[in-house]
Amino acid sequence: MTSPVTHSIPGSHSKVRIVIADDQSVVRFGVKSMLGREEDFLIVGEAEDGEATLAQTSKLQPDILLLDIQMPRSSGPGTIQEVVQESPGVRIILFTGAITPSQSLEALEIGARGIVEKTTMVEDLALAIRTVQAGDYWFHGEPFSNIIQAETVLGRDVEDPKPPAYGLTSRELSAIQCISEGCSNRDIAQQLLISQETVKRHLSNIFDKTGVSTRLELALFAIARHLVVVEAA
């Protein structure tokens, strides 16, 4: 777990550009007033429903989207997925009155980088924004340096979570199992009876679907989500 980020991003002189999406105008006004006191923040837009959120995010490409998950014309998870797909550079922080552990875990898995409950807005919001802007995650009022740490904490409160498939094919899952066992591309090719070029294509697709960039990250990702069978030592 990382230490809280309490200052602007080192080496950056530009302000953190923020869009606020909440169906209650009084909430948007309150958030703007509070964040407006921070010298490194700039509110560039606001939205009152799901459609406006997608339009504002696409047009403005903010650094941070503060998103209420319960708004008109919005499915919550659907809005997160659309923003991630259409504007991958935008980091999403859910801003909500109440959320269950399973909803928190789902939001993390589909692309949210943080959750701030409105009851802790004064204490947490600015710190959460700086933490997420710096590349970390913010859940349960704490910063996390990577998705595995955050999922581990969130997963403790979820009974029997069903592991998501991430769009992985059975062949890709087999390749991931091999990687978790320390296999090379040549080993994978021999076990799956395919060429090494095909293995490389599978790995490229796997990295795209899971969002990881190295074999070690992939192995940790798969183990944390129960995508592979781990033999007891």
Question: What is the DSSP secondary structure assignment for residue 225, as one 8-state letter?
Answer: T
- pLDDT confidence tier of residue 78, bands split at 50, 70 and 90: confident
Work out how many domains the chain is built from and give that number: 2
Question: What is the rounded average pLDDT of the residues 170-179?
Answer: 90
The whole domain housing 47 covers 16-155
User: Are 67 and 119 contained in the same domain?
Assistant: yes
Question: What is the rounded average pLDDT of the residues 165-192?
Answer: 88
* Per-residue pLDDT, 61: 96
How many C-beta neighbours within 10 Å does residue 222 have?
24
User: Are 80 and 141 contained in the same domain?
Assistant: yes
9 within some domain: no
* Per-residue pLDDT, 141: 87
* Per-residue pLDDT, 1: 46
Task: Give the model confidence (pLDDT) of 196-229 as tens digits.
Answer: 999 999 999 899 888 888 888 888 888 877 788 7
With residue 153 as reference, give the H or E element that holds it.
helix 147-155
User: Are 146 and 200 contained in the same domain?
Assistant: no
* Per-residue pLDDT, 152: 77
User: Are 24 and 116 contained in the same domain?
Assistant: yes
pLDDT of residue 12 exceeding 50:
no
pLDDT of residue 232 exceeding 50:
no
pLDDT of residue 11 exceeding 50:
no
pLDDT of residue 139 exceeding 80:
yes
Tokens of 165: 């498939």
Tokens of 214: 């190295």
Residue 211: CATH number of its domain:
1.10.10.10
Axis-axis angle for helices 215-224, 196-210 (nearest 10): 60
* Per-residue pLDDT, 136: 93
Least confident of 1-10, 26-35, 178-187: 1-10
160 within some domain: no
CA pair distance 22, 77, nearest whole angstrom: 15
What do you get for the CA distance between the two ends of the chain, in Å?
27
Q: Which amino acid is at 32?
A: K
Question: Could you give phi then psi for residue 24, rounded to 5 degrees?
Answer: -100, 120
- pLDDT confidence tier of residue 233, bands split at 50, 70 and 90: very low
> What is the tally of helices (H) and strands (E) in the chain?
10, 7
CA pair distance 159, 41, nearest whole angstrom: 38
pLDDT of residue 41 exceeding 60:
yes
Q: What are the residues whose beta carbons fall under 8 Å from the beta carbon of 79, sequence distance 6 or more?
A: 50, 53, 54, 67, 69
Residue 109: CATH number of its domain:
3.40.50.2300
Q: Which of 155, 184, 216 lies at the terminal end of a domain, its last residue? A: 155
Rounded to two decimals, the pTM is 0.64
Task: Give the model confidence (pLDDT) of 96-114 as tens digits.
Answer: 877 887 788 888 888 999 9
The SS3 of residue 44 is strand
How many C-beta neighbours within 10 Å does residue 47 have?
24
